Amino acid sequence: MPAERVALVHDYLNQYGGAERVLEAFHDLYPDAPVFTSIYAPDLMPSHYRDWDIRTSFMQRLPAVHRHHQPYLPFYPLAFRRMRLDGFDLILSSSSAWAKGVPTPPGAIHVCYCHSPMRFAWDFHRYAERERLAGAVRRVLPPFLALLRRWDVATSRTVDFFIANSTTVAKRIADFWGRDATVIYPPVDTDGAAPVAPSEVGDYFLLVSRLVPYKRFDIVIEAFNALGLPLKIVGDGRARPDLERIAGPTIEFLGTVSDEEKYRLYARCQAAIFPAEDDFGIAQVEVQAAGRPAIALAAGGALDTVIDGVTGVLFSPQTPEALIDAVQRFQRMTFSTDQIVAHAARFSRERFLREIADFVAERLAARHAPPAARRTEVATWS
């Protein structure tokens, strides 16, 4: 039997984060597979991407799209609908919005690794509040988003198998699309960090993230202003100026740091703070791989990655008062470095590659058995 032909599909390649780490792992599994995407900005992505076979849509030619892709929201469904993947046996998409909408050619199977159903369509009012969208935008978008939700449900029916990156995302897939999903946690570089001796642990707490409004880092600033404890903040983003304005003297902004420095900071912090509801939360695992606890909002991926009282502390609701209580509880507790590190190892990159390869191999093998009727719903953008 000839080797299976694989196509990888990804929403867009103009920013780097957890979704792109998943795509990189897919490419390691299938190095000859082309990557289909809406847009690709080589100067904004790691240099090794330039060695890949990356195939973009008509959106690649739109003005300023690489740095301002959000205004082109209406174009994405059409961009993926127009992609032709004839001749491929496996479509493996990495999707938080658009990539799952690519047409599946006859005889192929489509496996979608879902980072989350699109939040801005299904939870618009909370998204708009957190992103501080202008009033005019809030009035114009809802009718369009109603159409987008119809498209989202329709394209979910053309996917053969869903993989979710967390239990929370699997529940969203069931709630919004009525589909089952297998949970396979995303790859985390658990080998990048190493614990240090207790005597080397500092007195500071740590926050590592892109600084964007919806992640609610303002409650961390308020909490640590009240506690008077040292907090180091790693990362940059449009929320940084506002956060700096309200930060007290014990809070230090470090900006962007190297991976080496990030892991050094992880290993020596008291604990890392995570106030947002992340779909998974790679940083929550990274700090545990360095042997240090996570103090996280009891929602989203943290419910999978943090064991309350064992590898960290969970808190709720999302308020400064609840975070203050969590930090004070943390200070009264003791943690086992070995136990924290062992827990983090469950999320390793090697484990991800193995589980994805096994999942795909089983589905490809089953393709030659008498199949259930293939879903034939055609997703339209109208």
Which pairing describes strands 54-56 and 90-95: parallel, antiparallel, or unpaired?
unpaired
Helix axis angle for 282-289 and 259-268, nearest 10°, is 70
pLDDT tops 80 at residue 217: yes
Express each pLDDT in 152-196 by its tens digit. Answer: 999 999 999 999 999 999 999 999 999 999 999 999 989 888 899
pLDDT band at 129 (very low <50, low <70, confident <90, very high): low
Quick check: helix, strand or coil at residue 90? strand
Q: What is the pLDDT of residues 46-62, one digit of tens each?
A: 999 999 999 999 999 99
Q: How far is CA 11 from CA 19, 96, 134, 152, in A?
A: 9, 7, 25, 14
3-state secondary structure 302-352: HHHHCCECCCEEEECCCCHHHHHHHHHHHHCCCCCHHHHHHHHHHHEHHHH
**pLDDT category, 374, cuts 50, 70, 90?**
very low
The answer to whether residue 287 scores a pLDDT higher than 80 is yes
Q: What is the pLDDT of residue 128?
A: 54
At residue 371, the pLDDT reads 46
Confidence at residue 258, expressed as pLDDT on a 0 to 100 scale: 92
SS3 label, residue 91: strand
Query: What whole-number percentage of the chain has pLDDT above 70?
Result: 91
Residue 99, pLDDT score? 97
pLDDT at 139: 65
Host H or E run for residue 255:
strand 251-255
Token pair belonging to 141: 């978008």
Whether the predicted pLDDT of 137 surpasses 60:
no
| Residues 3/52, Cβ–Cβ less than 8 Å | no
Q: What is the pLDDT of residues 2-40, one digit of tens each?
A: 568 999 999 999 988 889 999 999 999 999 999 999 999
User: Which one-letter DSSP state was computed for residue 268?
Assistant: H
Instruction: Give pLDDT, residue 132.
Output: 55
Q: Is 271 exposed, middle or buried (0-12, 13-18, 19+ CB in 10 A)?
A: buried
Say yes or no to pLDDT of 250 above 80.
Answer: yes
Question: Over the stretch 61-78, which tens digit does the pLDDT of each residue have?
Answer: 999 999 888 888 889 999
Residues 6+ apart with CB under 8 A from 211: 217, 233, 235, 236, 237, 238, 239, 240, 243
Indicate the helix (H) or strand (E) that contains 86: none
Return d(Cα 27, Cα 347) in angstroms, integer: 19
At 271 the pLDDT is 98
Q: Which domains does the chain have, with CATH numbers?
A: 6-187+348-366 (3.40.50.2000), 198-346 (3.40.50.2000)
Residue that is written with structure tokens 């998974």 in the block: 280
Query: Tens digits of per-residue pLDDT, 331-360?
Result: 999 999 999 999 999 999 999 999 999 999
Q: Using CB atoms within 10 A of its CB, is residue 183 exposed (0-12), middle (13-18) or buried (19+)? A: middle
> What average pLDDT score do residues 214-218 get?
89
SS (H, E, C) 126-187: HHHHHHCCCHHHHHHHHHHHHHHHHHHHHHHCCCCEEEECCHHHHHHHHHHHCCCCEECCCC
Q: What is the pLDDT of residue 134?
A: 53
Q: Sort strands 312-315 and 294-297 into parallel, antiparallel or unpaired.
A: parallel
Average pLDDT value for residue range 67-93: 93
Give SS3 for 56.
strand
Greater pLDDT, 44 or 375: 44
Place of tokens 């992640």: 215
**pLDDT value of position 131:** 53
Provide the pLDDT confidence category of residue 215 given band limits of 50, 70 and 90: confident
Is the pLDDT at 369 greater than 80? The verdict is: no
Q: Which of 2-11, 171-180, 199-208, 265-274 has the lowest mean pLDDT?
A: 2-11
Is there a contact between 300 and 279 (Cβ–Cβ < 8 Å)?
yes
Tell me the percentage of the chain whose pLDDT exceeds 90.
78
d(CA 177, CA 173): 5
Cβ atoms of 127 and 263 closer than 8 Å: no
